[in-house]
């Protein structure tokens, strides 16, 4: 704080602090407080709002606990998001390792550009591309049929489609933290491990992954949070059997017209996501500040 004033002077320093304050209060705190407020009130017709029935209760949250289908979708969203994070990690780790330790400067530039360009396009359009690719009479099925790998078209929409779409959508959020972490690993450590007779697997398990742990945890947390809160991919690439919890929340708000129950559902998702993240970080022995870096 005093550093801020010393560097920018009293006037500019105060402006910066005020902007951060407005951001925190107006854009982080207020919406969440309002959501909690909504979640704890019953859904009443306008005439009764503020009346004797408008009291705080846990009814909306208990409704979710007692509604079997919604509960199942909720837990499925949580573990499927974890699966998305895991699969994204499997895809990104080898690529990050190669980029950080083996690729030449030019190769790195080309690959990073190729990975970044799709992100200049809106997420909905990117997901729509997968929608086309995975269609029943789409290019993927046609390709696999022509190779003779499958005998008849596969219905990709559903869990598989959602997983593919999300893995693709969040690849950079996983790749960059891991890449940064592995890049700071001294090459001679890998050489030393190899010189001492370690297999490739052991070099990664004992030397590279422990070193990149904070980056891996960061990538997994980002990907998990984004997946759990994702709406477009499950809406486009899902099937009735692969409904995402965000779709239920959407329905309460815009089809059921019950904002209070929607807010309660959203609150539960937020709390559970936070819990999963904190527990993951605790297990990986990574602090929240390391992730923020």
Partner 1 sequence: MPARTDYQGPMSHSVELDHVGVTFGTTRAVDDVSFTVEGGEFFSILGPSGCGKTTLLRVIAGFLNPTEGRILIGEKDMTPLGPNQRPTAMIFQSLALFPLMPVWENIAFGLEARGVSKAERRMKADELLKLIALDGYGDRMPGELSGGQRQRVAIARALAVEPQVLLLDEPLSALDLKLRQHMRAELRALQKRTGVTFIYITHDQSEALAMSDRVAVMSAGVVQQVGAPRELYDNPATPFVATFVGETNALSCTVKGIDNGIATVETAHGTLTGRAGDGLSGGAAAKLYVRPEALKPKGGVNRLAATIERIDFEGAFALAHGVAEDGTPLVASIASTELATAPAIGEKSGFGFESANAVVLPDV
Contacts with partner 1, residue ranges (CB under 8 A): 186, 188-189, 191-199, 202, 206-207, 210-211
Q: How far is the CB of 252 from partner 1 (least distance, A)?
A: 47
How many whole angstroms separate alpha carbon 4 and alpha carbon 17?
Answer: 9
Nearer to partner 1, 195 or 255 (CB): 195
Helices 123-133 and 159-169, axial angle in degrees (round to 10): 140
Residue 208 or 225: the one with the smaller Cβ distance to partner 1 is: 208
Q: Looking at beta carbons only, is 7 or 206 nearer to partner 1?
A: 206
Give phi and psi for 136, each to the nearest 5.
-55, -40
Tell me whether residue 161 or residue 215 sits nearer to partner 1 (CB atom): 215
Which SS3 state, helix, strand or coil, does residue 196 take?
Answer: coil
Q: Helices 105-116 and 171-183 sit at what angle, rounded to 10 degrees?
A: 160
Nearest CB to partner 1, comparing residues 66 and 106:
106
Beta carbons of 207 and 193 less than 8 angstroms apart: yes
**Shortest distance, position 186 Cβ to partner 1, whole Å:** 6
What minimum distance in Å lies between the beta carbon of 218 and partner 1?
17
User: Can you tell me whether residue 198 is helix, strand or coil?
Assistant: coil
Residue 240 is given by DSSP the state G
DSSP classification of residue 149? S
- Minimum CB distance to partner 1 smaller for 154 or for 284: 284
**Helices (DSSP H) in 152-292: which residue ranges?**
159-169, 171-183, 187-195, 200-203, 209-211, 213-228, 232-237, 245-254, 259-284, 288-292
| Contact criterion met (CB below 8 Å) for 227 and 244 | no
């Amino acid at each position: 704080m005093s550093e801020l004033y010393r560097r920018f002077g009293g006037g500019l320093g105060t402006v910066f602090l005020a902007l951060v304050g407005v951001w925190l209060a107006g854009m982080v705190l207020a919406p969440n407080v309002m959501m909690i407020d909504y979640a704890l009130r019953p859904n009443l017709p306008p005439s009764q709002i503020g009346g004797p029935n408008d009291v705080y209760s846990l009814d909306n949250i208990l409704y979710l606990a007692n509604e079997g289908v919604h509960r199942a979708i909720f837990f499925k969203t949580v573990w499927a998001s974890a699966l998305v994070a895991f699969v994204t990690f499997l895809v990104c780790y080898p690529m990050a390792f190669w980029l950080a330790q083996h690729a030449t400067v030019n190769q790195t530039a080309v690959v990073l550009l190729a990975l970044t360009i799709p992100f200049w396009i809106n997420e909905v359009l990117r997901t729509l591309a997968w929608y086309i690719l995975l269609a029943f009479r789409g290019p993927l099925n046609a390709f696999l049929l022509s190779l003779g790998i499958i005998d008849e078209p596969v219905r990709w929409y559903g869990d598989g489609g959602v997983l593919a779409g999300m893995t693709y959508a969040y690849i950079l959020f996983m790749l960059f933290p891991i890449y940064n972490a592995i890049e700071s690993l001294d090459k001679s450590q890998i050489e030393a491990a190899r010189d001492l007779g370690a297999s490739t697997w052991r070099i990664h398990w004992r030397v590279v992954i422990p070193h990149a742990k904070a980056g891996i945890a960061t990538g997994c947390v980002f990907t998990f949070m984004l997946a759990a809160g994702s709406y477009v991919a499950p809406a486009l690439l899902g099937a009735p059997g692969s409904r995402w919890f965000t779709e239920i929340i959407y329905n309460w708000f815009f089809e059921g017209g019950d904002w209070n129950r929607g807010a309660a559902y959203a609150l539960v998702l937020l709390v559970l996501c936070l819990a999963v993240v904190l527990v993951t970080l605790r297990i990986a022995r990574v602090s929240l500040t390391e992730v923020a870096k």
